[in-house]
């Protein structure tokens, strides 16, 4: 089913009236708001309220005095909105009626736009009594008694039904009080002819008037219609409530501003305290025009047409390297108004610059031209790389190194290789310039012919330097002959080795290797280097060691290891006797506990063993070799006469026996 615009309007009005009626019946304060206020002459009370849709709803006004329980109807016929034929009346009345009819016809099509529409309608009702009359939302009660307090109610008629619509706060006839003066007035000049005003808004005040005077002249209201601050109802504070954009504001003149709050019937209240300022020139001068730039041998030459403003005092030039980065002034001073050219001698080659010129006036106002772009081409190549060196190895690696160039626009380096030192024989070894100052080339390892290398520097504009040249030959890959160990002398903590040098002529050093024969998996480890045919291995522990030596030539080739030589290093500590033997017999558990003190032992110490004998018998071992200093013997017979000792044993079979001890019983 298609619902047209008028049907949607009727559905919405019915729903809203039912909702307000329900809220009223339940005693909830969600009804539409009604304003009631004595007239300034004290002879009547005005009533105004907000509505949903003016043409479809009619209203009755009811009243009750203090002490009365029942509202009595004041209207003999319902109030209703005007129709299109009711446009007669004075100019302000006719204009308000036209505004009402125009707004009434613009009921929104979309539901989400209705709230905004109602706010706009309510604003017009609040600031224009004639608009409220045209909407059927205004009533003046001329039957009041001075000093009596009244409450007013509004009932709505729609679709043949009557709804409770709005109720006012109690109001006393003849007791008119103007609104209090607003506070916190602040004014700020934004432009030469634009002043922004702000003040502390109150949530119960929606409209204000603004007044201005120049010097000692008369004060005038400068807003044609009340200034509505809609956000005040939501507790918000707009940054600016009113902007005075009057082209007649004069520079150097002082202006005073005051404001007054308007009540719901558009009566201005008390005036605020005045705020003032002196108007200053904030209009920029006419700018320079036709800015152009060209490159010559000395730099970038700029030219422009001068400003046409009489108060222009000069120009300032700005330069940047990108549109999205800050521009910086080229000079710390202003150029004269007569200047129309400037030579930028600080511009560097290979850079794209952006320029603009800024005209300034006596008041400090300025305006600048749109930026222009000037490309300063770079035709100067960087210097050739210096300090070019090479290192090669037997794997065919050629490692080139050179010192870094210092040009700020350096892009990198190219490396070339050739079999002959001819310009047409070189091949470029990489597609893009190198960022660093090192390059590794790999050649076939067996090549013994000469290679030629060239290194050039290249800048960001692809200018390439003259080349640095180097001749390279790969080193030999033949390992040297092995040396032969001849002499070894051992002390308690060192071994002195001597060997016959390798017979190869290019030997540069020797590696000394050692393995500990006591390790579970002995293997040779490098323990040092020597350029002489001798070496002393220090800070050794006692034990058996094997040594070997190999030769290394200038190319890093290593010989085979020499035949190993086994060396016995004597221990610096002898086997010690176990001490403080303690024995306890637990007869109940048939358990014998033997313990002793831990004493220093040599590097080849194997462990402890507990031995036992009956009187006049030979000792026999009752435990394996132990590292710990305690043994627990179980299933021990009680009543026997035992003698017990602890034996220390090393790896070559030496033994030392402790004192003999007899157990003591402990139940």
* CATH class entry, domain 289-376: mainly beta
Predicted pLDDT at 18: 47
CATH class given for the domain over 484-569: mainly beta
Residue 451 C-alpha from the chain's centroid:
54
- pLDDT: which is higher, 181 or 447: 181
Q: Which CATH superfamily, name and number, covers 579-665?
A: Immunoglobulins (2.60.40.10)
Tell how strand 410-418 and strand 183-191 pair up: unpaired
pLDDT attached to residue 2? 40
Strands across the sheet containing 534-537: 484-490, 495-500, 534-537
How confident is the model over 295-334, as pLDDT tens digits? 987 889 999 999 999 999 999 999 999 999 999 999 999 9
Pairing of strands 579-586, 664-665: parallel
What's the rounded mean pLDDT across residues 38-55? 80
d(CA 147, CA 169): 16
Q: Please give the Cα distance from 272 to 274 (Å, whole number).
A: 6
Residue 87 pLDDT greater than 80, yes or no = no
- 183-278 placed in CATH 3.40.50.300: no
Give the global pTM: 0.51
For residues 614-624, average pLDDT: 86
Question: 183: part of which helix (H) or strand (E)?
Answer: strand 183-191
For residues 252 and 210, the answer to whether their CB atoms sit within 8 Å is: no
Burial 20-52 (b: 16+ CB within 10 A, else e): bbeebeeeeeebbebbbbbbeeeeebbbbbbbb
Q: Has domain 389-472 been given CATH number 2.40.30.10?
A: no
Class of domain 5-172: mainly beta
The pLDDT, as a whole number, for residue 614 is 82
Report for 18-27, 78-87, 302-311, 477-486: range of highest mean pLDDT: 302-311
Q: Please compute, for residue 20, the number of CA atoms within 13 A of its CA located in the half-sphere on the CB side.
A: 21
More confident residue, 572 or 208: 208
How far is it, in rounded angstroms, from Cα 144 to Cα 174? 9
pLDDT-derived band at 6, boundaries 50, 70, 90: low
Asked if residue 98 lies in contact with residue 87, where contact means CB atoms within 8 angstroms, the answer is yes
Residue spans in the chain of domains classed CATH 2.60.40.10? 5-172, 183-278, 289-376, 389-472, 484-569, 579-665
Q: Coil, strand, or helix at residue 111?
A: helix
- Picking from 72, 61, 85, the residue whose alpha carbon sits closest to that of residue 136 is 61
| Dist. CA 257–CA 222, nearest whole Å | 10
Q: What is the tens place of the pLDDT at every residue in 232-248?
A: 555 556 566 899 999 89
Burial of 208 (0-12, 13-18, 19+ CB in 10 A): buried
- Residue 25's pLDDT is 40
Dmax (CA) of the chain:
150
Q: How confident is the model at residue 23 (pLDDT cuts 50, 70, 90)?
A: very low
| Closest alpha carbon to 487 in 565, 421, 377, 591 | 565
Q: Which residues contact 489 (CB under 8 A, 6 or more apart)?
A: 495, 496
Lowest mean pLDDT, pick from 121-135, 308-322, 357-371, 409-423: 121-135
Q: How far apart are the first and last CA of the chain?
A: 107
pLDDT score at 206:
85
pLDDT in tens, 463-504: 999 999 999 988 777 888 999 999 888 776 788 999 999 998
Strands 194-200 and 427-428: unpaired
Give the bridge partners for 596, in sequence order.
Answer: none
What does the pLDDT read at residue 53?
53
Of the candidates 633, 547, 525, which has an alpha carbon nearest to the alpha carbon of residue 589?
A: 633
CA nearest neighbour of 44 among 165, 129, 155, 164:
129
Rounded Cα–Cα distance for residues 454 and 575 (Å): 71
Gap between the Cα atoms of 141 and 42, Å rounded: 11
Q: Are 592 and 583 in contact (CB under 8 A)?
A: yes
% of the chain with per-residue pLDDT over 70: 91
482 and 510 Cβ atoms separated by less than 8 Å: no
Pair 16, 52: CB distance under 8 Å: yes
């Amino acid at each position: 089913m298609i619902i047209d615009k008028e049907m949607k309007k009727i559905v919405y009005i019915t729903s809203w009236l039912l909702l307000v009626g329900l809220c009223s019946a339940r005693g909830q304060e969600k009804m539409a708001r009604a304003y009631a206020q004595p007239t300034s002459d004290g002879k009547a009370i005005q009533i105004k309220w907000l509505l949903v849709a003016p043409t479809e709803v009619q209203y009755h006004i009811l009243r009750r005095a203090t002490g009365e329980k029942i509202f009595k109807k004041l209207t003999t016929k319902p109030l209703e909105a005007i129709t299109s034929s009711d446009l007669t009346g004075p100019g302000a009345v006719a204009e308000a009626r036209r505004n009402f009819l125009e707004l009434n016809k613009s009921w929104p099509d979309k539901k989400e736009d209705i709230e905004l529409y109602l706010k706009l309608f309510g604003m017009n009702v609040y600031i224009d009594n004639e608009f409220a009359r045209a909407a059927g939302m205004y009533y003046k009660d001329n039957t009041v008694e001075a000093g009596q307090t009244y409450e007013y109610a509004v009932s709505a008629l729609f679709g043949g039904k009557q709804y409770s619509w709005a109720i006012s706060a109690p109001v006393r006839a003849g007791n008119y009080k103007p609104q209090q003066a607003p506070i916190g007035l602040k004014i700020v000049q934004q432009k030469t002819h634009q002043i922004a005003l702000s003040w502390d808004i109150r949530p119960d005040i929606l409209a204000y008037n603004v007044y201005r005077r120049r010097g000692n002249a008369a004060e005038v209201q400068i807003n044609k219609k009340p200034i509505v601050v809609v956000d005040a109802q939501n507790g918000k504070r707009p940054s600016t409530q009113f902007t005075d954009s009057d082209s007649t504001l004069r520079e150097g003149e002082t202006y005073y501003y005051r404001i007054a709050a308007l009540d719901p019937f558009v009566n201005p209240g008390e005036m605020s305290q005045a705020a003032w300022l002196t108007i200053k020139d904030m209009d920029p001068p006419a700018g320079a025009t036709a800015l152009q730039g060209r490159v010559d041998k000395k730099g970038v030459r700029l030219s422009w047409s001068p400003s046409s403003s009489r108060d222009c005092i000069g120009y300032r030039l700005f330069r940047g390297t990108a549109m999205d980065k800050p521009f910086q002034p080229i000079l710390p001073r202003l150029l004269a108004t007569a200047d129309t050219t400037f030579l930028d001698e600080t511009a560097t080659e290979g850079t794209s610059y952006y320029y603009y010129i800024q005209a300034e006036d006596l008041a400090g106002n300025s305006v600048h031209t749109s930026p222009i772009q000037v490309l300063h081409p770079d035709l100067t190549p960087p210097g050739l790389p210096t300090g070019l060196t090479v290192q090669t190895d037997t794997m065919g690696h050629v490692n080139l190194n050179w010192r870094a160039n210092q040009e700020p626009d350096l892009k990198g380096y190219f490396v070339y290789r050739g079999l002959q030192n001819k310009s047409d024989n070189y091949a470029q070894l990489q597609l893009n310039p190198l960022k660093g100052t090192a390059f590794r080339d790999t050649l076939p390892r067996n090549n013994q012919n000469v290679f030629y290398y060239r290194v050039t520097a290249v800048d960001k504009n692809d200018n390439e330097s003259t080349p640095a040249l180097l001749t390279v030959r790969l080193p030999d890959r033949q390992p040297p002959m092995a040396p032969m160990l001849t002499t070894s002398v051992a002390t308690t903590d060192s071994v002195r080795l001597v060997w016959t040098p390798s017979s190869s002529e290019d030997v540069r050093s020797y590696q000394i290797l050692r393995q500990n024969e006591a390790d579970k998996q002995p293997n040779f480890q490098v323990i040092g280097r020597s350029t002489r045919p001798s070496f002393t291995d220090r800070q050794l522990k006692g034990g058996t060691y094997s040594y070997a030596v190999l030769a290394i030539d200038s190319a890093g080739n290593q010989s085979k290891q020499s035949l190993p030589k086994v060396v016995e290093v004597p221990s610096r500590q002898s086997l010690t006797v176990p001490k403080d033997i303690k024995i306890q017999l637990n007869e109940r558990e048939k358990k014998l506990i033997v313990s002793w003190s831990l004493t220093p032992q040599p590097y080849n110490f194997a462990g402890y063993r507990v031995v036992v004998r009956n009187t006049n018998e030979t000792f026999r071992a009752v435990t394996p070799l132990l590292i710990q200093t305690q043994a627990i013997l179980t299933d021990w017979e009680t009543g026997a006469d035992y003698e017990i000792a602890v034996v220390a044993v090393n790896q070559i079979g030496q033994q030392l026996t402790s004192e003999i001890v007899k157990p003591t019983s402990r139940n």
